[in-house]
């Protein structure tokens, strides 16, 4: 398919000299970002343009003058037939609308930036909880299982249900309506939209993953402007997209070895999660590094306490001398609540001492709150997404209950302080819905005959939850019927996967086919996928993400908002905008009224 199109494109270039590249300016048109936050400015022309023909202005002022820096001119970027101009590490210090124009002598590209200030600091601390991929159905099912429901009314609410402020978030990125956890997290941590797989950068045409125009993360901003502490907690690998979004600048989230270095250089004070394999030098069996750097040793030499088990984490947190902690509890992603607490599947036999995200949250707050200047803490329940992908709803719902427990820890700590903004939000959603119940007692030869909808659904019969809110058994005779709407070929078993996390499809000659492991489960039904055969699991959706929040600044959340506004609310609550801090270059000249 690609081949003839490429040939056609080349022919067009040859015959009509149509430019091979689109012109672009980064930050992009309608970027809405924080005054004083750093970024790399880049203009890409669609052809080779001699340096002397280029004129780039911000509100009519030449960029070199505005920023007091000579722009870097690249005649043939990465050997292409197109020129670029870069100015690294600049700020727009004053709020307002700015018209940016780039002319190659023939045509002019224009973008408008909307730069905002913030009010004075109102929150001492910010805790951002990410339920990765947490969809509305995850919340609903978690509430049913964890709190119980009778005659249409729940017996209780999840910890993030009763927060006073709520918003629907648009999660789409620069390149696509569908986001991934890299650019969606990057939107929260930088206030700039990005593209799939990218962290802390705008995706330009650069070939080097690390050469794309960067935008400043909240970790960098907080560390540059304040003496606050920063914590990064996840049950995924700590280099995975969401925790990486706190510190990373790369076009490819898969650069996990580089992201580990960026974590080390970030000056974050608490880092906890899985992913130890990227901390080990390549000579250590189990390492996923391609060099000899031993990051466990480097962190330790930098004054970090190191914990590899739940007990070590708790002991370190209890020690009043601990102000910095690296907790690595698994070489890969950690195991979820259903496996750790009940089924003992996944890798729980190999790693029996992994902490729970609620306990990681408690330990992180304990350590970070020793900083008198406050802290920014990000806590991710990353496995909600890791289980929604393989259509394993039970595991994703148990981890949603776990996120509720973690949020409760934060709420209990913040209760009465009125100085901590707590935000709970997915980064994107999955196509999952609660459609009724599956009742083994219903007649019928096929499992689909046992699916109850409307009045036939009734209520499930999960046992009473334990003290932490988890039903001790997920394998009950009348269970939730929860289905995914976007899936590869797979066998639907209508039952929880008690032997380990679901693997719906397996690779065969580069395409994905239904995993025959489930073919012989009684009642299993082949569902022919509605996704391309290159899809190995269910995929993210563009459905809005539901955010709830409490504490100073949370009142700014309402209605529908773009995901980048989460960053604005956080920096506004922390008063990180109009600071007289040292800025790079000279202030840009007067702002113009709405340009264009």
Partner 1 sequence: MIRSFDLRRRAWLRAASGLLGSATAGLRLPAFADATSALAFNEIYRSEGVLGLELSAKSKALSGKPVRMLGYMAPPLKPDVRFFVLTRAPVALCPFCNSDADWPSDIVVVYPRERSGWAQDGLPVAVTGTLELGSSVDRETGFVSLVRVADAVVVTLK
Least distance between partner 1 and beta carbon 136 (Å): 23
Among 290, 301, 372, 582, binds partner 1 (CB under 8 A): 290
Pick out residues in 387-406 that bind partner 1 (CB under 8 A): 390
- The region of 415-423, 440-448, 497-505, 543-551 touching partner 1 under the rule CB under 8 A is 497-505
Least distance between partner 1 and beta carbon 36 (Å): 33
Among 128, 174, 277, 414, binds partner 1 (CB under 8 A): 277
| Distance (Å, whole) CA 347 – CA 291 | 27
Pick out residues in 115-174 that bind partner 1 (CB under 8 A): none
| Distance (Å, whole) CA 325 – CA 315 | 11
Among 131, 191, 243, 504, binds partner 1 (CB under 8 A): 504
| Distance (Å, whole) CA 492 – CA 199 | 35
Asked whether 547 and 164 are in contact (CB, 8 A), the reply is no
- 303 in contact with partner 1 (CB under 8 A): no
Q: Report the residue number, 56 or 447, with the smaller CB distance to partner 1.
A: 447
Question: In degrees rounded to 5, what are phi and psi of residue 197?
Answer: 80, 0
- The region of 135-143, 144-152, 275-283, 464-472 touching partner 1 under the rule CB under 8 A is 275-283
Least distance between partner 1 and beta carbon 233 (Å): 16
Among 282, 323, 408, 433, binds partner 1 (CB under 8 A): 282
End-to-end CA distance of the chain: 41
CA 68 to chain centre: 35
| Distance (Å, whole) CA 1 – CA 559 | 43
User: CB-based burial of residue 562 (10 Å sphere; 0-12 exposed, 13-18 middle, 19+ buried)?
Assistant: middle
Least distance between partner 1 and beta carbon 200 (Å): 16
- Give the single-character DSSP code of 79: G
- The region of 106-114, 248-256, 465-473, 574-582 touching partner 1 under the rule CB under 8 A is 248-256
Q: Report the residue number, 223 or 251, with the smaller CB distance to partner 1.
A: 251
Q: Which of 262, 323, 320 is nearest to 295 (CA)?
A: 262
| Distance (Å, whole) CA 39 – CA 446 | 58
Sign, CA torsion 207/211/213/216: positive
- Sequence-separated (6 or more) residues with CB below 8 Å from residue 399: 235, 336, 337, 338, 357, 381, 383, 384, 387
Least distance between partner 1 and beta carbon 333 (Å): 9
CA atoms within 13 Å, Cβ hemisphere of 218: 36
Asked whether 58 and 588 are in contact (CB, 8 A), the reply is yes
- The region of 30-38, 217-225, 289-297, 544-552 touching partner 1 under the rule CB under 8 A is 289-297
- The region of 129-137, 336-344, 515-523, 541-549 touching partner 1 under the rule CB under 8 A is 515-523
- 332 in contact with partner 1 (CB under 8 A): yes
Among 476, 506, 583, 584, binds partner 1 (CB under 8 A): 506
Angle at 575 between CA 574 and CA 581, to 5 degrees: 120
Among 179, 242, 287, 541, binds partner 1 (CB under 8 A): 287
- 256 in contact with partner 1 (CB under 8 A): yes
String marking each residue 213-242 x if it binds partner 1 according to CB under 8 A = ------------------------x---x-
Least distance between partner 1 and beta carbon 289 (Å): 8
Pick out residues in 344-373 that bind partner 1 (CB under 8 A): 350-351
- 315 in contact with partner 1 (CB under 8 A): no
| Distance (Å, whole) CA 272 – CA 325 | 8
User: Residues for the chain: how many in total?
Assistant: 596
Please tell me whether residue 390 adopts helix, strand or coil conformation: coil
Least distance between partner 1 and beta carbon 585 (Å): 35
What are residue 149's DSSP bridge partners?
A: 154
Least distance between partner 1 and beta carbon 405 (Å): 23
* DSSP letter for each residue of 132-188: TT--HHHHHHHHHHHH-EETTEES---TTTS-SEEEEEE---SS-SS--HHHHHHHH
CA 311 to chain centre: 28
Least distance between partner 1 and beta carbon 174 (Å): 17
Q: Report the residue number, 146 or 287, with the smaller CB distance to partner 1.
A: 287
| Distance (Å, whole) CA 71 – CA 204 | 17
Among 65, 103, 308, 486, binds partner 1 (CB under 8 A): 308
Burial call 291-314: b when 16+ CB within 10 Å, e when fewer: eebbbbeebeeeebbbbbbbebbb
Q: Which of 182, 215, 175, 196 is nearest to 42 (CA)?
A: 215
Least distance between partner 1 and beta carbon 520 (Å): 6
| Distance (Å, whole) CA 28 – CA 42 | 10
Least distance between partner 1 and beta carbon 193 (Å): 19
Please tell me whether residue 351 adopts helix, strand or coil conformation: coil
Among 46, 104, 180, 261, binds partner 1 (CB under 8 A): 180
- 253 in contact with partner 1 (CB under 8 A): yes
Asked whether 475 and 496 are in contact (CB, 8 A), the reply is yes
- 519 in contact with partner 1 (CB under 8 A): yes
| Distance (Å, whole) CA 24 – CA 27 | 9
Total binding residues toward partner 1, as defined by CB under 8 A = 45
Q: Which of 279, 241, 524 is nearest to 389 (CA)?
A: 241
Sign, CA torsion 461/466/467/469: negative
- The region of 40-48, 129-137, 423-431, 529-537 touching partner 1 under the rule CB under 8 A is 529-537
Least distance between partner 1 and beta carbon 514 (Å): 11
Pick out residues in 440-479 that bind partner 1 (CB under 8 A): none
- The region of 138-146, 187-195, 284-292, 393-401 touching partner 1 under the rule CB under 8 A is 284-292
Q: Report the residue number, 273 or 577, with the smaller CB distance to partner 1.
A: 273
Pick out residues in 188-207 that bind partner 1 (CB under 8 A): 197
- The region of 37-45, 281-289, 425-433, 559-567 touching partner 1 under the rule CB under 8 A is 281-289
Among 20, 99, 136, 503, binds partner 1 (CB under 8 A): 503
- Give the single-character DSSP code of 213: P
Chain residues in the site for partner 1 (CB under 8 A): 180, 197, 237, 241, 252-254, 256, 276-277, 280, 282-290, 296, 308, 328-332, 350-351, 390, 503-510, 512, 515, 519-520, 534, 536-537
């Amino acid at each position: 398919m690609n081949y003839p199109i490429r040939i056609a494109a080349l022919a067009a270039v040859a015959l009509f000299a149509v430019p091979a590249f689109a012109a672009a300016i980064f930050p992009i048109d309608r970027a809405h970002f924080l005054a004083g936050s750093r970024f790399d400015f880049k203009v890409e022309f669609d052809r080779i343009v001699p340096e002397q023909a280029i004129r780039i202005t911000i509100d009519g002022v030449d960029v070199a003058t505005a920023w007091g820096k000579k722009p870097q001119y690249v005649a043939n970027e990465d050997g292409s037939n197109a020129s670029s101009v870069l100015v690294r590490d600049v700020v727009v210090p004053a709020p307002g609308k700015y018209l940016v124009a780039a002319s190659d002598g023939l045509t002019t590209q224009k973008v408008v930036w909307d730069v905002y200030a913030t009010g004075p600091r109102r929150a001492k601390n910010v805790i951002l909880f990410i339920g990765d991929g947490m969809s509305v159905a995850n919340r609903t099912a978690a509430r049913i299982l964890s709190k119980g429901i009778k005659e249409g009314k729940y017996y209780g609410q999840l910890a993030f249900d009763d927060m006073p402020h709520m918003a629907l978030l648009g999660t789409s990125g620069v390149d696509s309506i569908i986001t991934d956890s890299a650019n969606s997290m990057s939107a929260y941590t930088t206030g700039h939209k990005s593209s799939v797989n990218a962290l802390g950068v705008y995706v330009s045409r650069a070939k080097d993953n690390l050469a794309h125009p960067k935008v400043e993360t909240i970790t960098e901003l907080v560390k540059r402007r304040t003496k606050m502490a920063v914590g990064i907690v996840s049950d995924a690998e700590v280099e995975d997209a969401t925790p990486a979004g706190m510190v990373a600048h790369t076009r490819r989230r898969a650069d996990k070895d580089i992201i580990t270095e960026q974590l080390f250089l970030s000056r974050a004070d608490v880092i906890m999660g899985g992913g130890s394999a990227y901390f080990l030098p390549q000579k250590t069996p189990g390492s996923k590094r391609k060099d000899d750097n031993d990051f466990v040793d480097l962190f330790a030499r930098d004054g970090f306490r190191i914990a590899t088990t739940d007990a070590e984490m708790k002991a370190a947190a209890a020690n009043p001398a601990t102000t910095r902690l690296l907790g690595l509890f698994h070489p890969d992603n950690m195991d979820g609540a259903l496996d750790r607490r009940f089924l003992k599947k996944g890798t729980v036999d190999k790693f029996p001492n992994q902490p729970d995200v609620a306990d990681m949250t408690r330990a992180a707050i304990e350590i970070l709150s020793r900083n008198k200047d406050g802290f920014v803490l990000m806590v991710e329940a990353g496995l909600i997404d890791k289980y929604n992908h393989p259509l394993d709803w039970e595991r994703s719902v148990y981890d949603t209950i776990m996120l509720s427990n973690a949020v409760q820890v934060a709420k209990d700590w913040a209760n009465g302080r009125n100085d901590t903004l707590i935000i709970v939000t997915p980064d994107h959603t999955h196509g999952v819905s609660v459609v009724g119940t599956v009742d083994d007692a219903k007649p019928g030869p096929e499992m689909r005959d046992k699916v109850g909808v409307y009045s036939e659904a009734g209520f499930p019969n999960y046992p009473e939850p334990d003290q932490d809110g988890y039903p001790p058994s997920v394998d009950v005779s009348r269970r939730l019927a929860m289905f995914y709407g976007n899936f590869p070929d797979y066998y639907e078993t209508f039952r929880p996967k008690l032997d380990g996390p679901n693997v719906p499809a397996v690779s065969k000659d580069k395409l994905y086919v239904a995993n025959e492991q489930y073919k012989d489960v009684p009642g299993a039904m082949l569902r022919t996928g509605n996704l391309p055969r290159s899809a190995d699991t269910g995929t993210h959706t563009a459905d809005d993400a539901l955010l709830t929040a409490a504490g100073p600044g949370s009142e700014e959340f309402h209605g529908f908002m773009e995901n980048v506004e989460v960053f604005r609310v956080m920096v506004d609550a922390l008063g990180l905008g109009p600071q007289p801090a040292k800025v790079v270059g000279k202030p840009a000249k007067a702002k113009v009224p709405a340009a264009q």
